[in-house]
């Protein structure tokens, strides 16, 4: 079959897609962090609802919730969630502004991406200082 | 022209609208918390039992769950392979979000009784 | 100048490998393509596409030190060494730096990149006001080199379903054209979960466009046209 050689060489077509070797511009960094933060926040939804449930059930529940927030793992979780919320919210505002054509040119978009990335980390730092 | 599946614009506008509402709710809620922190359980419960707070909170969770659905669906459509797994994974996520919605509804109703 | 170039010959190689080259720069080596063509005089097995060698035909798009660009308009001065050259990310490699663009052009074709107007011909050309004509600026200049689409993560994950930035820039060019009468159908065609809305406004497309165009803003314009249209 004459088509055979074609299809077999087609099968042997590698694709270069090594993410470690492809440049990650600052906007892409803000974007992937936006997604990671979003997934973290989604995981946090049931935890947050549980905390709300507990805190409203009665004085013991409220105290238990307050006490649970004291432990080291939960403080670390609070810091991570503070970063996730801050980054996701700020990156979201950046996109909302771009939707109405504010800051959607490349130089401004690069600058706002830097600002969002830095502000997210700054909030995490602030949360860490407050939590300890 | 053949229509291919549900509107992408609808999901997009739901994502944007829910984001705007949550932004307003969080900023207002945070300000209220900072200006007048509920230090005790009765104060906290009384605040959450108010009709205004109840409706605003219910709307917040509706927005949150809709927003989470659109975002998680994007993650699944981008990364879950083989593609045949997308359907079951999305169904599981949808069920989970509906369960959370029911839970929130129960909390908000019981706090008023 | 030291270069490290992606090599793959389907008839000889099991898998791709990187080959190092070292070449003395000549005074005529202004652009990266000049260097690549001189390397070809040393090793004529190196496969690369090129034609106009001045950024108009869009044939010599490749991944240069991690960023897509046209070798013919990338100045040699300022390139970090070794200069790492790889084929366009996410595109099937035919040989060395030559990739298969079939899927890319199929996506372009899918947006119907031509004027649609069923009104009877007026006997002369369909006129446009200078203002309407100006709306095509920044859209019509695309040379379809695929630098943007190949740098787009959304395209990497869904190359058969997401049109990609190059195709969407062209879609926008016809959506905003005052002479086109198929705007509603064009918007309907893009309104599903994949064709337009896989875009997450990462803006890698606008980062790398060698013509300085902004596909991300064209995509933004399409979304806003969908939002503004009567339902």
pLDDT tens profile B34-87: 898 887 888 888 888 888 999 999 999 999 999 999 999 999 999 999 999 999
Mention the CATH class of domain C102-228: mainly alpha
Among left, alpha and beta (phi > 0; psi -120 to 50; other), residue C123 is: left
pLDDT at B51: 87
- Chain B interface test: which of C112, C160, C191 (most B C-beta within 10 Å): C191
- Give B41's Cβ-side CA count (13 Å radius): 16
Residue of A nearest to C97 (CA): A16
Q: Which of B54, B56, B71, B101 should be substituted to probe chain A, the one whose Cβ sees the most A Cβ atoms within 10 Å?
A: B71
CB A114 within 8 A of CB A58: no
* Nearest residue of chain B to residue A65 (CA atoms): B41
Task: Tell me the average pLDDT across C77-100.
Answer: 97
Q: Average the pLDDT over each of A62-71, A121-130, C144-153, C175-184 and give the range with the smallest value.
A: A62-71
Pick B41's closest partner by Cβ from A62, A92, A96: A62
DSSP result, B8-58: HHHHHHHHHHHHHHHHHHHHHHHHHHHHS---SHHHHHHHHHSHHHHHHHH
pLDDT above 70: percentage of residues in chain B: 96
Tell me the pTM.
0.93
Mutate to test the interface with B, among A42, A85, A90 (most CBs of B within 10 A): A42
Contact C97, C6 (CB under 8 A): yes
- Are A12 and C91 in contact (CB < 8 Å)? no
| Residue C206 confidence (pLDDT) above 90 | yes
The verdict on A35 touching C (C-beta cutoff 8 Å) is yes
Specify whether the CB–CB gap between C211 and C146 falls below 8 A: no
- Does CATH place domain A24-131 in 1.20.1300.10? yes
Percent of chain B at pLDDT > 90 equals 69
Interface of C with A (CB under 8 A): 6, 8, 10-11, 15-16, 63, 65-67, 84, 86-94, 100, 151, 153, 156, 200-204, 206-207, 214, 216-217, 220, 223-224
Read off the pLDDT of residues B10-30 as tens digits, 9 standing for 90 and up. Answer: 999 999 999 999 999 999 999
pLDDT for C31 equals 98
Residues in chain A: 132
Mean pLDDT of C215-225: 98
**Complete domains list, chain B, with CATH:** 10-110 (1.20.1300.10)
Beta carbons of A53 and B104 less than 8 angstroms apart? no
Cβ contacts of C202 on chain A, cutoff 8 Å: 27-28, 31
What CATH class does C2-99 carry?
Answer: alpha beta
| Ranges in chain C annotated CATH 1.10.1060.10 | 102-228
Please give the pLDDT value at position C186: 98
Which of C158, C196, C200 is closest, CB to CB, to B8?
Answer: C196
* Domain residue extents for chain A: 24-131
pLDDT-derived band at B102, boundaries 50, 70, 90: very high
ipTM computed for the complex = 0.92
By a Cβ cutoff of 8 Å, what residues of chain A touch chain B?
35, 38-39, 41-42, 45-46, 49, 52-53, 55-56, 58-59, 61-63, 89, 92-93, 96, 99
| CATH 3.10.20.30 domain position(s) in chain C | 2-99
| pLDDT (tens digit per residue) in A58-117 | 888 888 888 888 888 888 999 999 999 999 999 999 999 999 999 999 999 999 999 999
Looking at the predicted structure, is the pLDDT value of residue A10 above 70? no
């Amino acid at each position: 079959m004459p088509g055979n050689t074609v299809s077999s060489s087609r099968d042997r077509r590698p694709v270069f897609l090594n993410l470690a070797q492809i440049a990650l511009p600052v906007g892409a960094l803000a974007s992937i962090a936006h997604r990671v933060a979003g997934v973290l926040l989604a995981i946090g939804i049931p935890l947050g609802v549980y905390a709300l449930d507990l805190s409203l059930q009665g004085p013991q529940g409220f105290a238990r919730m307050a006490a649970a927030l004291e432990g080291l793992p939960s403080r670390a979780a609070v810091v991570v969630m503070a970063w996730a919320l801050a980054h996701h919210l700020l990156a979201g505002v950046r996109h909302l502004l771009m939707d109405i054509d504010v800051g959607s040119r490349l130089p401004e978009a690069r600058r706002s991406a830097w600002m969002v990335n830095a502000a997210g980390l700054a909030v995490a730092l602030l949360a860490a200082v407050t939590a300890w | 022209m053949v229509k291919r599946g549900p509107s992408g614009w609808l999901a997009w506008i739901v994502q944007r609208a829910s984001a705007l509402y949550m932004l307003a709710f969080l900023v207002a809620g945070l300000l209220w918390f900072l200006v007048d922190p509920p230090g005790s359980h009765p104060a906290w419960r009384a605040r959450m039992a108010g009709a205004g707070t109840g409706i605003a909170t219910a709307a917040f969770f509706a927005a949150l769950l809709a927003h989470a659905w659109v975002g998680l669906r994007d993650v699944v459509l981008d990364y879950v392979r083989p593609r045949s797994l997308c359907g079951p994974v999305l169904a599981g996520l949808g069920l989970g979000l509906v369960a959370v919605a029911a839970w929130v509804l129960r909390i908000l109703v019981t706090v008023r009784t | 100048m030291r270069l490290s170039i992606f090599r793959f010959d389907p008839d000889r190689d099991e898998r791709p490998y990187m080959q190092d080259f070292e070449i003395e720069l000549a005074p005529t080596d202004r652009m990266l393509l000049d260097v690549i063509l001189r390397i070809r005089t040393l090793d004529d097995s190196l496969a690369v596409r090129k034609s106009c060698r001045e950024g108009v035909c869009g044939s010599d798009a490749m991944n240069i030190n991690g960023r897509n660009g046209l070798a013919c308009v990338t100045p040699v001065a300022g390139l970090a060494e070794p200069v790492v050259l790889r084929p366009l990310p996410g595109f099937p490699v035919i040989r060395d730096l030559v990739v298969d663009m079939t899927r890319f052009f199929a996506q372009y074709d899918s947006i119907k990149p031509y004027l649609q107007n069923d009104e009877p011909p007026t006997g002369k050309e369909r006129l446009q006001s200078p203002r309407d004509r100006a709306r095509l600026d920044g859209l019509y200049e695309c040379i379809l080199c695929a630098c943007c689409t190949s740098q787009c993560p959304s395209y990497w994950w869904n190359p058969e379903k997401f049109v990609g930035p190059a195709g969407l820039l062209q879609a926008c060019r016809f959506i905003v054209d005052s002479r086109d009468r198929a705007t509603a159908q064009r918007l309907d065609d893009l309104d599903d979960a994949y064709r337009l809305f896989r875009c997450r406004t990462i803006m890698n497309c606008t980062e790398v466009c060698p013509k300085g165009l902004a596909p991300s803003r064209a995509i933004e314009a399409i979304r806003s046209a969908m939002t503004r249209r009567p339902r």
